[in-house]
């Protein structure tokens, strides 16, 4: 995933949070808070906040004060962020497909799993 996301200038965590904000807003129709995003993505709220600052600096998301709670930050995806999220999802799905393509070939899968487990 690191190699697949590098051309998009995204880390894996940035991808997960950007794709999650995109999904929550564009698919689920929510205007999530940072806390809701952290719950959805199963990430630490403080780390989520730090990564969102980076995504905001890249003009991929916008954070605004919630009208209901001045301590809460509402999230929206910019048009650039939505385009990057959709492209990144395609890239990650292709990397997953390529990586797991060998799963149908048992000897190859076993060698891969042994290699991942650190065994020769």
CATH code at 84? 1.10.10.10
The stretches of the chain forming alpha helices (DSSP H) are 2-5, 12-22, 34-41, 45-57, 79-100, 106-116
10-residue mean pLDDT series, the chain (120 residues): 94 97 95 95 96 98 90 94 97 87 73 82
pLDDT, residue 120, reads 67
Number of domains composing the chain: 1
pLDDT, residue 10, reads 97
Sign of the torsion formed by the C-alpha atoms of 13, 16, 18 and 20: negative
| Cα–Cα distance measured from residue 91 to residue 5, given in angstroms and rounded to the nearest whole number | 7
35, β-bridge pairs: none
Q: Rounded to the nearest 10 degrees, what angle do helices 12-22 and 79-100 cross at? A: 120
Determine the structural domain holding residue 106 and report its residue range: 2-116
């Amino acid at each position: 995933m690191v190699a697949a996301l590098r051309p998009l200038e995204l880390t894996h965590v940035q991808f997960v949070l950007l794709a999650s904000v995109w999904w929550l807003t564009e698919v689920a129709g929510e205007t999530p808070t940072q806390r809701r995003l952290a719950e959805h993505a199963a990430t630490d709220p403080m780390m989520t906040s730090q990564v969102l600052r980076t995504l905001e600096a890249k003009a991929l998301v916008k954070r605004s004060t919630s009208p209901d709670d001045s301590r809460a930050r509402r999230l929206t995806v910019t048009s650039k962020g939505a385009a990057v999220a959709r492209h990144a999802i395609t890239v990650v799905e292709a990397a997953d497909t390529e990586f797991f393509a060998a799963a149908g070939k048992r000897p190859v899968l076993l060698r891969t799993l042994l290699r991942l487990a650190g065994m020769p």
